Each structure stands twice: as structure tokens, then as C-alpha cells.
Chain A
Amino acid sequence: MVLIRTIIAALFIVFSALAAQTASAQDDDPALRQAIAGLGAEKGYSKLRKAIGIVVETGDPRGARVLDALSEGDVYRRETDGAVFIVSGRGKQLTLLDPVTGDETGTAAKSDLKKVRVNNSVRRSVREAIGALTLGAKDPGVRMSAARTMIDNPDPDSLDAIDTALDKETDADVRDALQQARAGAIILSDRDVSEKVSAIETIRDMGGQQALSLLVRARSGAGAEMREATDAAIASVRKRLQYWSLGQNVWYGLSLGSVLLLAAIGLAITFGVMGVINMAHGEMVMLGAYTTFMVQEIMRTSFPGLLDWSLPIALPLAFLVAGAVGFAMERGVIRFLYGRPLETLLATWGVSLILQQTVRTIFGPTNREVSNPSYMSGAFQLGELSITWNRLWIVVFALVVFGVLLYAMNRTSLGLKMRAVTQNRRMAAAMGIRTPWVDALTFALGSGIAGIAGVALSQIDNVSPNLGQGYIIDSFMVVVFGGVGNLWGTLIGALSLGVANKFLEPFAGAVLGKIFVLVFIILFIQKRPRGLFALKGRAVET
């Protein structure tokens, strides 16, 4: 079996070399055409996989185009004659492209075409096939991704192909990747021990989950003499991963903490500074998220070019919308209830229900889609740590919002008045400050900040009428834990709760982890009722 496969692989290499030479001279290849026609002929996924194998066997890199389209679900069969096409466009009338050259060859009604159905196992075959077909491509980027696929799917039968590619390879990075792919294949092959041991070293130096996965696989089939080397390599990779997992927990904690900070920071003003138990705080966050949705919808329909800018554009609008609602709330409800915390709690709870149901009536109860702009999608690798862009942006954004708010409170005239009013209302009034006006503006500021938080949270959570409910308890927890009336307390409180949560989660699970954090906070509040950073001085007594 292995022998036959090796022969096929060798044939394939000879063939691919030939094909590469003849490709320029001969524009069309009947073998490839015939192989591609096979994609539409058979029913059933296993037969489709075989048909893909036949395309690979032609060794023609141009076969990659149709395979790529196949995994995207863009390959159709014409019902009348069974011809296979790549199809582009949507709607009832589709454009047909030639499967080999990619040139337009006409159009057809959708009802005349039958999609070639693919599932995961077919997509996997396609990915491997494209890897094999593009190992000799001109573009080093394509070769790199081909090598990566080979690392992901080590196969002893592809060793010869890798060796040939290595001989020709000039790019250092691609060479490294190919060496790793080769090592992976060797470990699983039946080559002799010395070669395998050096391959194990290569894999060990590669590090990461993938290396671990490879080594564990190798270990299960290894003889006694190999086992020792594999075990040592596994231990070394594990150890390195452990250090990284520590870093990973810290990062996840900071990222959760920054989400908590964003959700709580508006409350740090309305509840922390003003002392209003604002149960409608979560709904301000929700309004911010819906504003983002509206902005994105308008961008999508009217200014598609600006779609990536929808978040920066939504920020001031969300601030204004939530701020305006907060202003109206303060003027309409809360100002009559100062000094009566229980009534405030009930009234704001009522307002929160009204806001929720209003949004539900206008936008419907289902989730709304807010897409991630390109700079907030995906992840990048930092050592063994994969950092997702949206989380990174949210951490940065939370810190910026915090900084701006701190500046506003300590360096602006409005901030000065706010602090004056909260510290000694009557004295501030005597100095000529319009305290009711300052109250309204403070509340609007807190609500507006919550609206801004909503813009960020729309990127990681559901945009639904229930969005706010999920954050209200966490927000109060953070503000109370950090110390009422202190912005720094909110920052430290949010980040430490986030990190604590993420360190508990791997051991205790998500449910218990959360319970532990709550129990800890209850105990902490018993010991220090005013939180981490308690306000001192006369303001506390009044």
C-alpha cells in the first residue's frame, strides 16, 4: 500500500514537473478538464473526495482554482449537459466561469444549475489538495500557506514532494516551514530511528499546541527506543506551554476586566459620584449598541465605502443618544427622588423595563447583526498566545475612555463643579453653582459614557434588547468593590476582578468561578464596607 502510494507520489512529482513545463506551451489540458468534469459526475461525499484526488493526480497547479471554488461552494453542474462551472454572482441569473482558466463563458439561470454539495470532510480534502498543488507556486506567500497546510496534515506519503520542494526553495521562511512539515511527516513514517529523533527535535523547537499534538500522535505509534525522546520532547513543549498559559490567563483577565471597566465606568459616575442607584444603566449600554447598529445600517445602504468607519462615527452619536436619554431621565424622574434610594431603585428599574420593551417593539426581539470592521477581526500570534484584535482594541479603548473621563473630572470646569456639588451641595450652591443643572449634566455624562461602552460591546456580544441586563450586576459589583466615588477604584476593581475570574475559570469552571468571585466580594465588603479605595473626609458623612 505504502509502496503504491510512494510510486503515485513519485509519478505525481514527475508529472508536475512536466506539467509545469508544458503549461505555458499548451494552454489546455484534456486530462485536467476530464478530472474536473468528474467533480460534477458523482454523488456522495466519498466519491467527490475521490474525484478531488484525481484532480490532484493531474498535478496541474491550475486545478487549484476549481478546488478553491469548490470549498467555497461556488462550483455548479449544468443540469442539461453535466458540465462543471465556477459560478459568480447572486440572484436568479448567474455568471459562469471556466473552471480551468476562470474566464467568463456566459450566464445561466439558477434553476438550470445544481450546486456541487460539499461538507467538512470534502473541504478538508480540498485544503490538503491545494497544499499539494501549490507547493511549487511562484508566489512565496502561496508556497508558505501550502507548507502550513502540510504541517497541519502530516502525511508520510508526501515526503518526496516536500523534499523536491525543499531542493528548489529559496525563501528562508518557507524553507523553515517545509522543514517542519518534513519533520512532521517523518515522525509518522517508518523511517529509521536516528532520522526520527532529529525530526522530533525540530518539532520540539517549533513548540505550541500543534507540536504537542504531533508528538502525542507520534508517541502512540513509537517503539521503546523512540518513546524516551518523544516523552522528553513532550515534557519540554508542555512546560513552555504552561508558562504561556499563565500569560494567556493574564491577558484574558485584562480583556474581561476592560469589558467590566467599560460597562461600569458610566455607573461609577451616576452611582459612584452622584449616589443614584441607576438600574437603567444597562439599557444605556444597549442604546449605544443599537445606535451602532443604526449607523452601520445607514453606512451599508448609503455609504458602503465608509463601512469600516462606522464604529468611530457611532461613538459620538451613541454618546449623544444615551446622554440625551439620561438627561431626560434625570429631569423627568430622578430629580424628584434624591435622597430616597429605594424609590430611585424602583423607578429606574421601571424605566429600564420601558426602554427594553420600546427597543423590542421598534427593532424586534431578535438579535441584530453588527459586523466587525476588518481591523477588529481575526487574531495574531504572540509566541504561543493568540490575541484577538477585537479584544485588544477593547482593552485600548477602555483605557482611553478612562483617561478621558479622568481628565474631564479633574481638569475641566464641569468636572470641578461636579466634584464641588457631590462633596458639599449647599456650599456649592452658595458659591453660585446651579446644582440641579450640574446634576442633570453629570447624569447625562454617566449615561453617555455607558452609550460609548455599548459601541464597544456590540463587537463582542449580542445586540438585543437584553444586552444591558447581562452587565448591570457586574457593573454594580465593580463599582462597589472598587470603592464608591473613586474612578481609580473602578479601574483597579474591574481589572482585578477580571483577572481573578480568569484564573479561577480553568480550575473551577465558568459557573463555580463566578460564584467564588461573588463570595469573595461579599466577604471583602464585610471587611471593608467602602470598597478598595474608600473616600475619606467630610463628603462621606453627608
Chain B
Amino acid sequence: MNRIARKFGFIALGAALTATTAMTSASAQEETIKVGILHSLSGTMAISETTLKDAMLMLIEQQNEKGGLLGKKLEAVVVDPASDWPLFAEKARQLIEQDKVAAVFGCWTSVSRKSVLPVFAELNSILFYPVQYEGEESEKNVFYTGAAPNQQAIPAVDYLMEEEGVERWVLEGTDYVYPRTTNKILEQYLLDKGVAQEDIIVNYTPFGFSDWQTEVAKIKEFGSAGKKTAVVSTVNGDANVPFYKELANQGIEAQDIPVVAFSVGEEELAGIDTGPLVGHLAAWNYFQSVDNEANAKFIEQWHAFTGDEDRVTNDPMEAHYIGFNMWVKAVEKAGTTDPEAVIAALPGTEVPNLTGGTSEMLPNHHITKPVLIGEIQDDGQFEVVSETEELVPGDAWSDFLPESKKLEADWVDLKCGNYDTEAKKCLGETAMAEPAEEETTSN
């Protein structure tokens, strides 16, 4: 009896021992490919960026279920830059130097992207940036999967002009680099289209602005000049909810003065009662309500992954979906995760997007996307009212600004992010000294 017990114990102990050694040796031998996720999980931007972290984790998990990449498993390395712009640069350095990640998916605000640019250039790594932005940039190490202004702002304005007959414009934005650059492009575009200067007002409010009474009254007054008026809103983040609440309370209906927003998606609408907002517009390259099989599957997976049926999907998530799949394809094509080889393999890569088309990575490191205009519905979703027939290629340097009209980005033939087509030379680093320093930030 005693001996049997001892024998059993021995066997059990032995089994346990071999099991653990097997496991440790397996994990030591099995090399993983590390993928960095650089999104704020605390601070002001956590509201938007946490979702993207979850989306990346889901994509990586799915890729592992499919057998990983190059025969290895993918491993996510998540860091929290805490909405602190200099910390973004530090965390990026940590991801590349210490964790030796093969690529980084991250950043949301333009200022955070600007702050990590030098790090990625110095250490020659890859960043996938998933958010719509102001353009006027093309870097060797960065792949822009969000919309450039010509993939969002310009088609939205065209829609308002043609469908709604808008003649008077309020360009309302938060006071930082993205709205300022976008509004500069839009103002020039409108003037080129023959809109009179007195029919445009440009207005800025601080980050997190919450008392919109005067601003909304001003819009109302501007809109009562006998011409059809619309608001183009680049208002960002937390300021949107009070803005829409005030619009609703002062009785500005979408039929009278429609507001088209570039930073308001499903996620932002989750905090408001959208009943009074029906008909206001947003321009994106993806909406959760897009009706096709790929999207339905994606939403289902997302709900299963988060365990919450109410979680919405949005445009930057789709951008990560496209960017991640492009990276996977490029790594497979290059046969290695070496940044130089992958950067060379990425342009020309084609992957299906979630709106039924196929997006392609262009030589200027932007992608082709459809532009969708959606109207807010009372269930917090958007209904597509207009869609470009073909995919729009992202333009790094706007054709509507005199100083950037002559610039071109091409990393395949020209190997340059800012080639001056008039002087026939690459401007290189000098022109890249962007207005990042003078920028105001939220905290």
C-alpha cells in the first residue's frame, strides 16, 4: 500500500517534471515574431486608442490560429504611452531596441506621430498609423492606413455642394495641427470652386471645449443669410458631445444646417442620444453599417473577442485590419521580418478591405480607399448616403496648397518622401521640419 502510493507519487512527480521541462524548452526554442502596439491606455486619448489595442490583439490572435507567420507565432507587446507625447517616443524606442519588435502599430494624434518619427527613422523600423490625418507628410518608415485629406475632407465637401446645394461654409475645428491644416486645404479648395470669402468662416475652439452656446448661436446667425449653410467639423475628441448636445438643444436640425464631421465615428456617438442628430453627416472610409460578408464576419469576431455585443467597430479599426494584413502579406513575400526588406515589399501589396473592395499600398506609403458619406441614425449608427465608385488613392501632399502642390512622394522609384517636381530634386530632411513644435496639446 505504502509502496504503491510512493510509486504513484514518483510517477506523478516525474510526469510533472518532464512536462515542465518540455514546456520551458519549447518556449525557449520556439521563437516568436513580436509586434509592438503603441496606443494610449490611460489619459485623454485612452477613450479612442484602447479600442485599437483590443483590435490589434484580436488580429494577432486570429493570425496565430491560422498558423502564425513564417512558421512562427506572433506575440503582441503592449505598452502604454499614457497620452503623453514625449513618452510615445520613449516607448517606441523601448519597443524597437529592447523588445526587438518587427513592426509597430500605433499612435492616434498627429502630435504623437510626429514625436515618434525620428525614433523610427533612426532605428529603421516600421510604423503603421491607422488614423485619418492632415497629410503633408510621407516618411520611409511610416505606412499611413488612415485617410489623407483627399480621401475624406474633399469628397465630403463635394457631396455637400452637389447634393445639398451648400453655398455658405463654417469650418469649425479644435485648435491644433490636424484641423488647422485640413481647414487651410478646404478653404483654398472652396475659394478655387468660386465660393466667396465672406461665405466662409473659420473658427477654432480649445481642446475639451464644453460651453458651445456662443459658437452654436454664431453658426445659427451665419446660417440665416438666405443661403444654404453647412458646418464642416474637425472638432476632436471630448468636445464633440457637448457640441452636438448644444446643436440639438438650440434646435439646429440637419435639414437646415447639416454638420459634416471628420472625427466623429461610431465610438464617439456611443456617448450621446442620437435622436436629435439624425441627418448630420460624417465622412469616413468605413462604417460599421456597411453591409457585406467580410464586415459582418469582422463584427461577429469582434463581439466574440470582446465578449460584448454592444461594442462598435469604427474606421481606424478597419485601417489596422488593412495595415496588419498588408504587413503579414509583405513579410510572407519578403520571407523575413527585416524592416528594410518589408518596407521594400509593402508598396503594391493588395488586401481586401471591409467595404467590399481591395486596398493597395501605394509607393507614397498611403493606401487606396473608398470614401463613404454617412448620415447619423437614431440607433447611433451611420447610413451610407454616398460612396465613391472607385477607390481613391491617398495623396500625401495636397494639390490645393501652393507650397505642397509641386511635391510628390515615391519610395519605390524616387526613394523620396518630398520630391520637388519643379526643381527636380529631393528636399530630404530639411523640409520635414514640420510645425510639430508649435502645436498646442490637450494636456
Contact = CB atoms under 8 A, between A and B. Distances in A.
B213 A255 contact: yes
Interface in A486-517: 502, 505-506, 509-511, 514
Interface string B16-56: 00000000000000000000000001101011001100000
Contact of B268 (A214, A367, A371): A367
Nearest to B83: A466
A220 B196 CA distance: 15
Interface string A204-222: 0000011011101100100
B215 A209 contact: no
Contacts of B303: none
Contacts of A514: 206
B205 A511 contact: yes
B377 interface: yes
A469 B443 contact: yes
Interface residues of B, number: 56
Contact of A460 (B203, B245, B251, B279): B245
Nearest to A255: B213
A28 B249 CA distance: 41
Q: Do most interface residues of chain A lie in helix, strand or loop, or is the interface mixed?
A: helix
A227 B70 CA distance: 78
A435 interface: no
A461 B246 CA distance: 10
B224 interface: yes
A217 B443 contact: no
B163 A252 contact: no
B254 to A, nearest CB: 5
Given A117-B385, A379-B251, A466 B211 contact: no
Contacts of A390: 249
A366 interface: yes
B215 A367 contact: no
B206 A510 contact: yes
Contact of B210 (A248, A470, A506): A470
A240 B215 CA distance: 20
A357 B62 CA distance: 29
B271 A369 contact: yes
A426 interface: no
A391 B217 CA distance: 14
B56 to A, nearest CB: 16
Contacts of B221: 209
B271 A511 contact: no
A366 B225 contact: no
A464 interface: yes
A360 B210 contact: no
Given A460-B210, A461-B210, 12 more contacts: A127-B255, A220-B226, A365-B47, A366-B50, A366-B270, A371-B273, A372-B273, A388-B213, A461-B241, A469-B44, A470-B208, A510-B206
Query: What are the 6 tightest A-B residue pairs by CB atom distance, in nearest-first order?
Result: A367-B271, A217-B226, A213-B224, A209-B224, A365-B46, A388-B249
Interface of A: 45, 73, 117, 119-121, 123-124, 127, 152, 209-210, 212-214, 216-217, 220, 248-249, 252, 255-256, 259, 356-357, 360, 364-369, 371-372, 377-379, 386, 388-391, 460-466, 469-470, 502, 505-506, 509-511, 514
11 contacts: A120-B255, A120-B279, A123-B279, A252-B213, A256-B211, A365-B41, A367-B47, A386-B250, A388-B213, A388-B250, A465-B46
